[in-house]
Amino acid sequence: MISRFGSIARLACAIVFVFGSLLLPTSANSQELRGKISGRVVDSNGGAVTGATVTVTNTARAASTTFTTNADGLFDAPYLLPGTYQVLVEASGFKKAILDKVVVAINETRTLNIPLDVGTVQETVTVTSEASQLNVSDPNLGLTVDRKRVDELPSVHGDPYHLINLTPGVAYTGSTRLDRPFEPTHIANFAMGGARGIRSDLLIDGAPSTATANGNEVIASYVPTTDATQEFRVQTATFDAQFGNTEGGVTSIVTKSGTNSFHGTAYLWTEPGGLAANDFFGNANKQARPLTYSNRPGFTVGGPVWIPKVYNGKNKTFFFFSFEQIDDSRPRFDANNIWAPTAALASGDFSSFRDVVTIYDPLTGTFNGSNTTNRTQISDPSRGTPGNPLGLNIIPLARINAVSKAVLPFLGGPKQPAPQGFRINNNIRDSTLAEILNPPYRNYTTRVDQSLGDNNKMFGRYSWYNRVSSYNNYTGTDYVGDRFLFISKQGMIDDVHTFNANTVLNVRYGFNRFIRGSDAPEGQYGMDLTTLGFPASFNNAVGEGIRRFPRFDFGAGGGTGATIGNGHTNEFRPVSSHFVTAVLNRSMGKHTLRFGGEMRIYREDDSFKSNAQSGQFAFDNAFTRQNSASGNDFEGLQGFASFLLGYPTTMSITRQSDYSEYSKTWGFFVQDDFRVSQKLTLNLGLRYEFESALVERQNKSVSGFDFAYTQPFEGQAQTNFARIPANDILRTTYGLTNITTKGGLLFAGKDTGNGLYNTPKDGFLPRFGFAYQFNEKTVLRGGIGLYQGFLGERRGDVIQPGYTQTTTQQRASLPNGAPIPYLLTQPFVDGIQEPSGNSLGKQTSLGQTVTFFNQNPGVAKQLRYTFGVQRELWGGWFMEATFLGNKGSDIEITRNLNAVPNKFLNTDNSRTAAQELSNTNLGGTVINPFCNAVTGSTCNTGQSLYPGAGGTISRRTLLTPFPEFGAINTTNNDGQTWYSSAQFSMNKRFSHGYGIQIAYTFSKWLQATEYLNAGDERPSKVRSDQDVPHRYSMSYFYELPFGKGQYFGSGVNNWVNAVIGGWQIEGTYTYQSGFPITFGDLFYVGGKIGLEKGQQSLSRWFNTNAFVTAVGGLPTCGAFATPNANCATPVNHLRTLPLRFGDARIDAINNMDIGLRKDIRIRESMKVQLRMEYINALNHPLFPGPNVTASGTTFGTVSASNQNNYARRAQMMVKFIF
């Protein structure tokens, strides 16, 4: 009785602990990193053996746990780290049974049927267990990437996530060029099972390893090295209620741990640039092969914690440590037509370009009331030459602006001559100029495992990496390009306590902090702007705490394409999460019950200290061309002349707000794995998830929009509207008799609560699965389950109009009224606007685009269902065929609530005279009813809503539902998706010197998540932009049959064997159909849009004849008497052309990685390994998407300076293994 009471008390305490843990102010994830062994002990007649003792021992650590079979002979050994185990079974009246080499994989159940022979426990029967590849426990889909694949398959930069490509049912949706482990947005960017890319969860040792970059993007916050990775599992569909917080799949990595023997590696990888191939377009343009450099040294060590004469941790305490460093430099391929000025250009001498461009003097010309014409060419006779005695196209030195002169040295100079076909463009070329050598990337992981006896085991891990990258620093100065900072820190602790043979509790806590930022060189912080020629008044207005080197943008209409002043914002953006989970595992007869929950807190802080806060100045040729209204530049030279003269086209300065936001999630579940019979197992689960609203800690955010509010100036605006003539087509044709001024922004903490919206509480997610063993070699499996996305910090950031204020000034005037820009030496003479915060209330952002949170959002739901068959074949072969479907509902989509109603759009399928007239009428202007209506604003000061020439406003604007605002953007949950796939895989377990794994997926993905027209009631149902009809992947190993123990040379001596033995070939291959091309609004004339493979070329990627296009000659249309390119462009048009077509796609991924490995054994536990690998071995280029602008002559062509993937690269490695 006391024993029974004690068991009940312990169980009650465990239940209290499970739910009590979830009340802590932390957060969690209950996803499981380990596997388990389940089985049934029977006698020789198949009857259940009750009360048998089952001891499960990790052979590498000598750590044991004991269980007892129940009345049905069943036992369940959960929470086993991946590895090799011995299972010992003892029962009175039977011989002892020992099963050796029982391999347990991550998140998989190893099912055993153990017969006992009659005898005594002193007698032993030893059985070597070969794992069945059949899954008789659940219908979960995915791929286990075991240790051999992780260690030996080619992997770019040692990134294990690269091997997700081998999984059926996935599609890579990121950039193939951003493949280093510190490029977190792309390395794990996979769509899974009908859920979009970067919506799936990533776990390391059962703890979340994610952060956010942009809204609805889940990125990898930390990447362990391949040498620190034990194995990992990709689950594209799981029907276990324990898994949640994802609408897609789950990728779980388990790190290596120490054992009773010391073991480790030391290695060096290098990429020899001389063995790399050139880019496709580099060859075509006769450019040199890109400059690359990469070394990747590292080491690992693990074993028992042993301090001589102090502590011997054998069988108890184990450690593992890994370190890796990447020193590299490579092209970014991000720049086009970039140049830096020669010494002559920097001095204002453009005379050598007189034949192609004329530099005009902004202070000359005739102003006709709207633009300046007949400017005269600038000249400096004092710098004339015999060939140019008047010094034409030379800016006098005295007219070079003081700020420009001070800034010029920071721009740098050319790196090589301009290539053939250019005069100055591309004297800095991204395809040949590598990044400057960055500080090394360093990656550390430390793990400690502790056994506190048979009933309690725990481990902890701490990992971190750091990287500072200089991108696009083409001139080699610290003032051009971007400097990015990535720092990842994460830690966790996990404890498993066995209360008795049937009850086990697992508790896990961890934290994750990922810092994404950009910084400036040390000399920029608190910079004195007067040293650059700016006046002291401007220096003081900026403020010392936010002063940086200002930003100067070249490239509008050409230009150098470069940015001085670290073009990226200088910010510090840490994303943090804490998590705690508790799960109780209870075996009861044929039921294995699990229940528990998790809690997470996500927090993001963003501190801006951008260059724009010190001024941002943009230059083009508006003031150095002959006519201010129009005129083409030549390779940006006129724009650069504007810079030298100190005349920016626009100047702006921003008062930027920081923010601190957070949200919380809770999840609770119950799961019953019900072993109905020897053949049938049911998986029954229910999960509940709830996520709180996003909160900005100081309420510095918009929350919603008050649709019922009437702006106080409505009466005056209606009075002004009455002045519009009665015969204006706004009244006669469009039927507008008056306007209203409804609506205004709501602010958190002032108009609403702290939460930025209301969150739904309907997150009940049922799951069902079954596995039926038809016979010993065949299993039928299926399942259905509901999953949901997220709403809080991972969904998107706060919205801060009023808290961030940008002041923009464009021009002053000459005495004759002609506009010219303000001089750089006289910035912001009209003052700098300060942020209003929420003080303007519902008058905030009048006349501007506004965005607000849907106050009653839904949560995206995914209903996933599968049915399939597994079959073990001969010789270690295994096959699986599965159908997977996914129906998405309540998908969040963005729409503009302030669009011109569709009834005012033209439906003609060509640029007819009627369409042109409709566009002219809507674009035409009338009296602006908002002039002088808003307090403190007048038309003549330019402060009114929609100021125009003479205080006018377009008819189009007045026809919108809220004419006092621009676009009004929010979200709804009207989106839907439909995904279906047939997935096939075959696997040959590694034996007899080879192993192979093949996967093929055939799928179709439709979505209704985009509006063809802003005024449409429902989104359009089309092919998904991530639709991939065909995907094939393969991995393989093949030991060359030479040397001892092989077919050839089995009897050779050790010296010969050292040369011919130990060779292996390994590799991977991936083919993925290209995504559908997304088209804009075009005039479709008929015919198939896609081309057959043999007809497709870079000059004609799809059937351009299906559209009205300027390709091959200017089209004719009713709108214009003379044929011109505008005939190919719809205006004011009600679109009916679908966004995408199934037969018109961008280029397919076609990638093969191969490797050759040589093992040189020194002694039994020690060897040296040599490897040579080629990434993209067949050098297949991945071409960018085609041009889809029908009015241009490049419509339908693929034209770029670089391919979308890297050309063939080589990796070489030497590794010492002990």
Condensed to tens digits (0 to 9), the pLDDT of residues 1137-1188 reads: 999 999 999 999 999 999 999 999 988 889 999 999 999 999 999 999 999 9
Angle between helices 402-411 and 637-645 (to 10 degrees): 130
Which pLDDT score is estimated for 4?
Answer: 44
pLDDT at position 953 over 60: yes
Condensed to tens digits (0 to 9), the pLDDT of residues 261-270 reads: 999 999 999 9
Which residue would you say has higher pLDDT here, 1152 or 52? 1152
pLDDT at position 518 over 80: no
CATH 2.60.40.1120 residue spans of the chain = 35-128
Sheet with 229-237, strands from edge to edge, namely 141-145, 229-237, 250-255, 201-204, 207-208
CA 942 to chain CA centroid, nearest Å? 41
C-alpha–C-alpha distance, residues 204 and 492, integer Å: 10
Lowest-confidence pick of 400-414, 852-866, 883-897, 905-919: 400-414
Condensed to tens digits (0 to 9), the pLDDT of residues 593-640 reads: 999 999 999 999 988 766 678 888 988 888 898 887 777 788 888 989
Condensed to tens digits (0 to 9), the pLDDT of residues 1069-1087 reads: 999 999 999 999 999 999 9
C-alpha–C-alpha distance, residues 641 and 792, integer Å: 48
Condensed to tens digits (0 to 9), the pLDDT of residues 201-253 reads: 999 999 999 988 777 788 899 999 999 999 999 999 999 999 888 999 999 99
Quickly state the pLDDT bin for 436 (edges 50, 70, 90): low
Nearest to 1146 by CA among 1192, 1205, 1216: 1205
Which residue would you say has higher pLDDT here, 955 or 991? 955
C-alpha–C-alpha distance, residues 715 and 846, integer Å: 16
pLDDT at position 10 over 50: no
Chain mean pLDDT for the chain: 88
Condensed to tens digits (0 to 9), the pLDDT of residues 91-117 reads: 888 888 899 888 888 888 888 888 988
C-alpha–C-alpha distance, residues 1016 and 517, integer Å: 39
Residue 1029 DSSP symbol: S
Which pLDDT score is estimated for 1166?
Answer: 94
Nearest to 212 by CA among 225, 202, 226, 204: 202
- Cβ contacts of residue 945 below 8 Å, gap of 6+? 846, 847, 928, 930, 933, 934, 937, 953, 964
C-alpha–C-alpha distance, residues 76 and 87, integer Å: 12
Lowest-confidence pick of 83-87, 335-339, 699-703: 335-339
Q: Which helix (H) or strand (E) holds 270?
A: strand 263-270
Exposed / middle / buried, residue 1006 (Cβ in 10 Å: 0-12, 13-18, 19+): middle
Condensed to tens digits (0 to 9), the pLDDT of residues 1088-1134 reads: 999 988 899 999 999 999 999 998 888 999 999 899 999 999 999 99
Which pLDDT score is estimated for 555?
Answer: 62
Is residue 262 within 8 Å of residue 691, measured between CB atoms? Answer: no
Which pLDDT score is estimated for 17?
Answer: 45
**Which superfamily, per CATH, for 35-128?**
Carboxypeptidase-like, regulatory domain (2.60.40.1120)
pLDDT at position 948 over 70: no
Return the bridge partners of 36, or none: 109
Residue pointed to by tokens 């205004």: 744
CA 200 to chain CA centroid, nearest Å? 11
Which pLDDT score is estimated for 21?
Answer: 43
pLDDT at position 475 over 80: no
145 vs 107, 201, 238, 989, CA distance in Å?
A: 12, 17, 17, 12
Which pLDDT score is estimated for 15?
Answer: 46
Which pLDDT score is estimated for 791?
Answer: 86
Which residue would you say has higher pLDDT here, 557 or 515? 515
| Rounded percentage of the chain residues whose pLDDT exceeds 90 | 61
Which residue would you say has higher pLDDT here, 187 or 905? 905
Quickly state the pLDDT bin for 259 (edges 50, 70, 90): very high
- Cβ contacts of residue 152 below 8 Å, gap of 6+? 1037, 1064, 1066, 1155, 1157
Quickly state the pLDDT bin for 23 (edges 50, 70, 90): very low
C-alpha–C-alpha distance, residues 1176 and 1069, integer Å: 9
Which pLDDT score is estimated for 722?
Answer: 95
Cα 615–Cα 617–Cα 618 angle in degrees, nearest 5:
155
Which pLDDT score is estimated for 147?
Answer: 93
C-alpha–C-alpha distance, residues 7 and 566, integer Å: 65
Which pLDDT score is estimated for 556?
Answer: 43
Quickly state the pLDDT bin for 819 (edges 50, 70, 90): low
Q: What is the pTM of this model?
A: 0.88
Condensed to tens digits (0 to 9), the pLDDT of residues 630-647 reads: 777 888 889 899 999 999
| The amino acid at 389 | P
Cα 32–Cα 38–Cα 40 angle in degrees, nearest 5:
170
Quickly state the pLDDT bin for 491 (edges 50, 70, 90): very high
3-class SS string, 847-891: CCCEECCCCCCCCCEEEEEEEEEEEECHHHEEEEEEEEEEEEEEE
Condensed to tens digits (0 to 9), the pLDDT of residues 282-315 reads: 888 777 787 778 899 999 999 999 999 899 999 9
pLDDT at position 767 over 70: yes
HSE-up (13 A, CA, CB side) for residue 170: 31
C-alpha–C-alpha distance, residues 1068 and 1150, integer Å: 11
Condensed to tens digits (0 to 9), the pLDDT of residues 121-146 reads: 777 887 766 678 889 999 999 999 99
Is residue 821 within 8 Å of residue 813, measured between CB atoms? Answer: no
C-alpha–C-alpha distance, residues 639 and 288, integer Å: 30
Return the bridge partners of 100, or none: 128
- Cβ contacts of residue 492 below 8 Å, gap of 6+? 205, 206, 207, 460, 461, 508, 509, 510, 511
Quickly state the pLDDT bin for 24 (edges 50, 70, 90): very low
1205 vs 30, 164, 431, 474, 824, CA distance in Å?
A: 37, 18, 12, 21, 41
**CA trace torsion 138, 53, 583, 14 (10° rounding):** 150
Is residue 645 within 8 Å of residue 399, measured between CB atoms? Answer: yes
